[in-house]
Amino acid sequence: LVLAVNAGSSSLKISLFRRADDAANPALLLSSSTSSIFTPPVKFKFSFVAPQHRSLNEVVDSIHNHASAFTHFLACLEEEASVDPNDIKHIAHRVVHGGDYISPVIISEESYHHIKRLSDLAPLHNGSALSVIESAIRALPHAKSIAFFDSAFHKDLPTHVATYAINQQVAQERGLKKYGFHGLSYAFILREVAAHLNKAPDTVNIIALHIGSGASMCAIRNGQSIDTSMGLTPLSGLPGATRAGDIDASLIFHYTSRSPARMSHDPSISKEVKVTEAEDILNFKSGWKALTGTADFKEITEKADTSTTMSRTADPNTLAFRIMLDRILHFAGAYHLALHGDVDALIFAGGVGERSAELRRAVGEAAVCLGFAAIDETKNSQVNDDEGIIVDIGRGDGRKRMLVCHTDEQLEMARECS
């Protein structure tokens, strides 16, 4: 058995697979999700593929961090599924930032401390992944814990794309370059889109969007990442639920200035901004939530004017929606040029990408001018009803495809374990 563990900033998703003869298709046995870990009530779901078993959907007061969420899952695994923990041979952990690790590694003391040192570069995720890794090693010492890195997919980024225009001696000494993230999702998207198009993965050219509470985009040429919107950390690029996305680097100094009107070099007004404070503001106190008061993009779109007529607006929900759309179009256009217009498909994935018909419609209306298929409104509105991994939402007019991919990072890890 393979346990695939995906620790988010405030969530924990776990899937249990049985290794099959066909390594590309391990059999899913059950899955679990824990949400709102730090903002009670904590919601816990536990469901089986086989219909004869009962599913759980409950509030659990005993969960207060990722470690206790993992412990609760293991208890349910024994009590509800009658799974012997000794049958679990591999535990695959999603780790956002791997630094110079460009392939999965077995968790050892060395690799554990390497991941720990990188926690400052992925403060929303690496710390939570480490706490679950610790719990897994304690609870299942016989199983082999393996770290799979989101940054590894982007290991072949062209040098000019990965390099920042700063002193290169300092950059190389400190590893200051674009790494990129959401790699497990992009690997899954690439594999599934290639199969859908009946093409070899190393011949596929796509623009992929992983839009969730963390959001990024990726340009893939001949099966390799050639550019992506996140950089040294997951903070850059598109805004997210609580992340600012791309900003002028000096903004943070103005934002924290003691003078409400301006930044000043006057010591009585200026303020020393520590890295932790800046990261806290830009990672946790920005994004859609800072604009609207909610991190729920569905709630935002329900209140927003999602039409593409760009009249001035004072409504925060409409503003948040338009900011997201604007940034997506910015990267989509750039990536279309980077791929020289030779693009097989534009793909939506992630919680928002897969569920927001409004965002897909708005992006689709703009992308028609680049030769992408116009979106079929019926198909677009029924994506959540389609059980396929890939859903074509275009009108089928032979132009560049508009697709939705129900991405599965846990399955991607289980495949690689197999």
Determine the Cα–Cα distance for residues 347 and 220; give it in Å rounded to an integer: 11
Residue of 373, 350, 370 lying closest to 361 (CA atoms)? 373
Q: Does the active-site annotation cover 150?
A: yes
- Structural element, H or E, at residue 58: strand 56-59
Give CA angle at 265 (277, 239), nearest 5°.
40
Q: Quote helix, strand, coil % in the chain, to nearest 5.
A: 40, 20, 40
Buried/exposed 402-412: b ≥16 CB within 10 Å, e otherwise = bbbbbbbbbbb
Determine the Cα–Cα distance for residues 92 and 343; give it in Å rounded to an integer: 32
Residue of 351, 399, 353, 342 lying closest to 376 (CA atoms)? 399
Alpha helices in 11-167 (DSSP H): 66-79, 109-117, 126-139, 159-162
Q: What is the DSSP string of 5-38?
A: EEE-SS-EEEEEEE--SSTT-PEEEEEEEEE-TT
Contact of 318 with 375, CB cutoff 8 Å: no
Q: Which of 150, 227, 344, 408 is catalytic?
A: 150
Question: What tokens were used for 260?
Answer: 């409400």
Sign of the dihedral through C-alpha 332, 333, 337, 343: positive
- Structural element, H or E, at residue 147: strand 144-149
- Structural element, H or E, at residue 56: strand 56-59
Q: What is the DSSP string of 186-238?
A: HHHHHHHHHHHHT--GGG--EEEEEESSSEEEEEEETTEEEEES--SSTTSSS
Map residue 325 onto helix, strand or coil: helix
- As annotated, the active-site residues are 150
